[in-house]
Structures are given as structure tokens and as C-alpha cells.
Chain A
Amino acid sequence: DAGVIQSPRHEVTEMGQEVTLRCKPISGHNSLFWYRQTMMRGLELLIYFNNNVPIDDSGMPEDRFSAKMPNASFSTLKIQPSEPRDSAVYFCASGADNEQFFGPGTRLTVL
């Protein structure tokens, strides 16, 4: 298995631009999580899905953030418009049997 796949690995954009992060979970896993890692706040959950249905989006900072999971093999996290404070590493994790496996992360820099 290829593990969790995230793209892009690095993204540099300017304030106000739209950013879309992508994730392909491990085949057969029924849960997908989006986490954000910053120096100030550490690792925090943004949103997660079970069987493609959003369960908890209380960690989504504000309306500028949105996430979708149209099918079991794909999810997106979109930021529109992006701001410098959104700069962070964004992880997607795939879960089954009470374990979560992380993708390599996307390092986002908003100038």
C-alpha cells in the first residue's frame, strides 16, 4: 500500500489567493482527518469524516476554510481567501480500527 498521499507537498502563495490541498486515504479506511501543525498551537484537528460524512468541523478556523470528501478515495481542504496566519503544515490522516496513519503533510506558506 502506498500509504496516505497528499499534494502538493509544498505550496507558496500570496495573501488573498485560493489554496486547495488534496488527500488520498489508504484504501479500505473509513475515516479521514485533517490536522494543522503550527509552532504556536501544535497539532490540532480541523475536521474529520467517517464514511465520507463530516462528523466534527469544530476545529475549522472560520468560513474561509472548507473541506469535502466526495468519495472514499479523495478529500480536499480549501482556503479562500488565504491569509499569512494560515501558514502551517497541513496533515491528512487515514483511520481504521482505532489507529490513524498520517500523510507526509503539505507545507503552506502564505506571503
Chain B
Amino acid sequence: AQTVTQSQPEMSVQEAETVTLSCTYDTSESNYYLFWYKQPPSRQMILVIRQEAYKQQNATENRFSVNFQKAAKSFSLKISDSQLGDTAMYFCAFMKHSGGSNYKLTFGKGTLLTVNP
């Protein structure tokens, strides 16, 4: 079974600064996907970024980027130029590769990020 650990229950950052959220995972799978989801107060779950384990290059989406260290089983999210709208709960999630079908997501407990003006 897979486990996902987010060791920072809460973090805060000043607007326009950079913040990094940590995530580690444990799995015996060799091929899998990692995700970061954002959940603002509206409670909508929003996919922020995806990383395929077989790709060495770190994924980026505008101000969001990841640092994927496969050997260390680490998957951190960096948010650059933080904005007030980035205030949300952030969840790290794992999904094993399963051919043409999807597999379930295993989530961490989340990190509550507050961006201060």
C-alpha cells in the first residue's frame, strides 16, 4: 500500500514571496504519478500540477513547479510570486500507473497555506 506524508500542517508566506510545500511518499511501485491539488475555502478540489515518475524533468505550471526526487521519494511544490488567491489547503497525492485505466488517488493530510498581504 502507498502512503503520502505532508509534514507541514500549516504554513504562511508574504505576498510576492516564494514558498515550498513538502511531500514524501512510500511505494514499491516503479511507475506512478504524483499530483498537487489545491482546495480553497470554496472546497473545490483543483488540480495544480502532475508529475510522471518516469520523467526526470520537473513539471512546471506558470508560478507552480515541483522538485521531484525519485530516489528520496520526495515531491515538493514551489509557489513563486505568491498571491492572495493562493491561500488554500494543498494536498499531495499518489496514483500508481495502471495501463489505460485510472487508479485511485492516495492523499496526504494536507498543508494549509496562508498568503498574507
Contacts A/B (CB < 8 Å), 15 sampled: A35-B105, A45-B105, A50-B101, A89-B43, A93-B105, A98-B95, A98-B102, A99-B35, A100-B95, A100-B105, A102-B45, A102-B46, A104-B42, A104-B44, A105-B43
Convert A97-111 into 0s and 1s, putting 1 for each residue whose CB lies closer than 8 angstroms to a CB of B: 011111011010000
Chain A, interface size: which category? Answer: 20 to 34
- B108's nearest neighbour on chain A, judged by CB, is A42
- CB neighbours of A100 from chain B (8 A): 47, 95, 102, 105
How many angstroms from the CA of A100 to the CA of B46 in the assembled complex? 10
- CB neighbours of B50 from chain A (8 A): 98-99
Does B78 reach chain A (CB closer than 8 Å)?
Answer: no
How many angstroms from the CA of A74 to the CA of B97 in the assembled complex? 25
How many angstroms from the CA of A104 to the CA of B102 in the assembled complex? 20
B43 and A56 contacting across the interface, CB-CB below 8 Å? no
- CB neighbours of B110 from chain A (8 A): 42
Q: Which residues of B contact A (CB under 8 A)?
A: 33, 35, 37, 42-47, 50, 52, 91, 95, 97, 101-102, 104-110
Does A31 reach chain B (CB closer than 8 Å)?
Answer: yes
- CB neighbours of B47 from chain A (8 A): 99-101
How many angstroms from the CA of A69 to the CA of B42 in the assembled complex? 27
- CB neighbours of B105 from chain A (8 A): 33, 35, 43, 45, 93, 100
* Contact for B104 among A45, A51, A99, CB less than 8 A: A45
Does A95 reach chain B (CB closer than 8 Å)?
Answer: yes
How many angstroms from the CA of A30 to the CA of B98 in the assembled complex? 13
B104 and A43 contacting across the interface, CB-CB below 8 Å? no
- CB neighbours of B95 from chain A (8 A): 98, 100
How many angstroms from the CA of A31 to the CA of B33 in the assembled complex? 16
> What's the least CB distance linking B78 to chain A, in Å?
21
How many angstroms from the CA of A105 to the CA of B41 in the assembled complex? 13
B45 and A98 contacting across the interface, CB-CB below 8 Å? no
- CB neighbours of B107 from chain A (8 A): 42-44
- CB neighbours of A105 from chain B (8 A): 43-45
> What's the least CB distance linking B102 to chain A, in Å?
4
A50 and B102 contacting across the interface, CB-CB below 8 Å? yes
